[in-house]
Amino acid sequence: MTREELNNEKQEKIIKEEKKEATKKIVKKTIKWLIIILIIGISFFSYTTYISSVKVKVREYRITDNKIPASFNGTKIIQLSDLHYGTTMFINNLSDIVNKVNVRNPDIVVFTGDLIDNNYKLSSNNREKIIKEFQKIKASLGKYAIMGDEDNDEFKTILNQAGFTILNNSYELIYNNDNNPILLVGLSSTKKNQNIENAYSYFKQEVYNSNIYTITILHEPDTVDDIIGTYPTDLFLAGHSNNGNIRIPFLKYSIFKVDGAKKYDQDFYQINNYKLYISSGLGTTNSSNIRLFCRPSINFFRLSNS
């Protein structure tokens, strides 16, 4: 074999080795990126399925207004909303929610609609379990509820048996150790079922306190535009929007908006002198039953008159 042939053979070997090394590097990079994608996928699935959709957080707010009577200074209100039982919320989750409520010793508990998901067939056994869990909720000044757009007579049966007063386009004067009450107004969901005039009929009486501190519980937050400027309300507590279920981090923007919460779907709005708080809900309302950057929550309010 000539020297030139030997050189060519060596050159071919070198080229083959270089190709092998290049192929190894490509394979390593591919495996590395596949592992990264797999980890991201598993993390995303775990977060949306086991954390973001199930792990309930408590949002705490202080409500300060000099209209709040001194006897209600420090009063604790808990809002529950949009359980959508049968989506991501079941009896074990409900039991955990009830414990989270009771450990905070609320004075008033309000439920702002959508108890059972409309695609879920509730068995009589589960109905009794839900009633028992809601019966465990303790509230020294009362438990109140309004119906959501997916609620029916079963909602009334469950919450009535659990000791809730259902405010169906009506109001309740709540007293706390003296003669200065606050007014709680309840408005039914959907425009065809709403009777705003009847809900605020307290202000149609011959004698009423025009400066009474008023809280309105309603399901669909966009309804506030039909109330503001006509009927006095200091604090609105709404549900329905679930704050969009899927949100863009650091931006107040929801991917999915629903009728009745097209304009107002975030957690808080200051509208002139009115405060509107919207629960992110407890269950889910989309077909995939996931949440993203929008954990289910309990809203916890402390009233203060100074």
CATH 3.60.21.10 matches 58-304? yes
Would you say the pTM of this structure is higher than 0.75? Answer: yes
Tell me what pLDDT residue 39 has.
54
The full set of domain ranges for the chain reads 1-51, 58-304
Give me the sign of the Cα torsion angle 278, 280, 281, 286. Answer: positive
Are the beta carbons of 39 and 33 closer than 8 angstroms?
A: no
Phi, psi for 240 (deg, rounded to 5): 75, -45
The predicted structure's pLDDT at residue 245: 82
The pLDDT of residue 41? 58
Max Cα–Cα distance, the chain, nearest Å:
120
pLDDT (0 to 100) of residue 291: 81
Report the distance separating Cα 170 and Cα 200, nearest Å: 7
Mean pLDDT, consecutive 10-residue segments, the chain of 306 residues?
Answer: 64 72 75 63 54 80 97 98 94 96 98 94 96 98 96 95 97 95 94 91 93 97 94 96 81 79 94 94 79 89 94
Confidence at residue 22, expressed as pLDDT on a 0 to 100 scale: 73
Q: Measure the CA–CA gap between 166 and 180, rounded to whole angstroms.
A: 23
- CA nearest neighbour of 60 among 27, 21, 94, 106: 106
pLDDT of res. 236: 98
Please give the radius of gyration of the chain, using alpha carbons only, rounded to the nearest integer: 28
